[in-house]
Structure 1
Amino acid sequence: MDIGADQVGEVILLAREMTEQYTGAEEQFDGLIEGMNEDQRYDLVALCWIGRGDFEPEEWDDARRTAAEQATLSTADYLKGVDHLAEHLEAGLDAMGISPTDAEDSALEG
């Protein structure tokens, strides 16, 4: 993966804040996603899809390729439209053998 677990952790935390309607969370979310390079954004979408069950962990390359091929909206806009985004990203990290708790803790420390 090109995206760091701490970056995913930060996205998860901001996704939760948006759900709870914290002021400024959506702007921070947009800025974080837009600050990522293309490969990191594809990784994020692929992780979401794996966590949602659209792909299996061993289909990582297919998930990334599909994310790249279907990128028509901005990644931030697409992800904001995904119900239960934080949970899907946590499940995606877990499926890929990465501790979501560690990722979120790392994001909080950074």
Structure 2
Amino acid sequence: MDPVTPLDTLCRIILRAREYEAQVPGNYDDDEDADEVDGEDGEALSALQDSINTSVEDELRTSLDDLAEDQQAEVLAFCWVGQGTYEAADWDEAIEEATDEVSSGGAVDELLEMPMLASVLEAGMAAFDLSCDGIGDLS
């Protein structure tokens, strides 16, 4: 399969998503010392980052917004395959539903809210023997 979205673009999205996921506020159920886990707004922060950098989210959002509609649909469909919502054999159905989601304007928000975006995008690409090996910073 040859993706509509250039492979280096997909890999750049994965890289940005990893950066974003490393700093997204987490939910802590433990009775940990609040001074150790609270951020500016009292939200617990992941162990990898001690403050929220909104520019990372802005960069990821911009990368997704800058994609053409068919490319946004493809990224969303790859993610759905990666998380098991669709099988690779059901690609046409996944693309059709993703295209509907893009048309309604909710695709970028759905992607940004998706748990483990980088991992599910990679897994979806892997289902079609696509990989970021040897591509830029991900090699």
Fold match (TM-score > 0.5)? yes
Task: Report the CA distance between 1:19 and its aligned residue.
Answer: 1.2
What residue in structure 2 maps to residue 54 of structure 1? 85
Alignment CA distance shift 1:60-1:107 (3 Å) = farther
Cα RMSD for the two superposed structures? 1.7
Does the residue aligned with 2:135 lie in a helix, a strand or coil?
helix
Kindly indicate whether structure 1 or structure 2 has the higher relative contact order, using CA contacts under 8 Å at least 6 residues apart.
Answer: 1
Larger Rg: 2
**Structure 2 residues not aligned, in runs of 5+:** 24-51
Task: Report the CA distance between 1:70 and its aligned residue.
Answer: 2.9
Distance 1:74 1:31 in 2: 14
Listed one character per residue, the Cα deviations across residues 18-46 of structure 1 (whole Å, up to 9, x for unaligned) are 11127321111111111110000000000
What residue in structure 1 maps to residue 28 of structure 2? none
TM-score (norm 1): 0.86
Structure with the bigger percentage of helix: 1
What residue in structure 2 maps to residue 97 of structure 1? 129
2:12 pairs with one of 10, 13, 26? 10
TM-score (norm 2): 0.69
Distance 2:85 2:19 in 1: 25
Q: For the Cα contact (< 8 Å) 1:33–1:41, is it kept in 2?
A: yes
What residue in structure 2 maps to residue 41 of structure 1? 72
Q: Identity of aligned pairs, percent?
A: 30
**Structure 1 residues not aligned, in runs of 5+:** none
Task: Report the CA distance between 1:7 and its aligned residue.
Answer: 1.1
Distance 1:107 1:49 in 2: 25
Off by >6 Å, runs of 4+ in structure 1: none
Does the residue aligned with 1:55 lie in a helix, a strand or coil?
coil
